[in-house]
Amino acid sequence: MGLLGITGTFLLYHLSLDYIPASSAAVIVSSVPVFVA
């Protein structure tokens, strides 16, 4: 689960940089710890 969480975080981070405005990216990054936990 840990590796999956890291991979998911990495993919979401790069997708947010490529496709999502900064404000939305910040919301996604803020929600990542909840997803991993």
SS (H, E, C) the chain: CHHHHHHHHHHHHHHHHHHCCHHHHHHHHHHHHHHHC
Number of domains present in the structure of the chain? 1
d(CA 31, CA 26): 9
The C-alpha atoms of residue 18 and residue 28 are separated, in whole angstroms, by: 13
What's the pLDDT at 2? 77
CA 17 to chain centre: 10
Q: Which domain holds residue 16?
A: 2-36
Report the alpha-carbon distance of residue 21 to residue 36 in Å, rounded: 23
Summarised one tens digit per residue, pLDDT across range 1-37 is 578 878 888 888 777 766 656 667 677 777 777 666 5
**pTM of the predicted structure, to 2 decimals:** 0.38
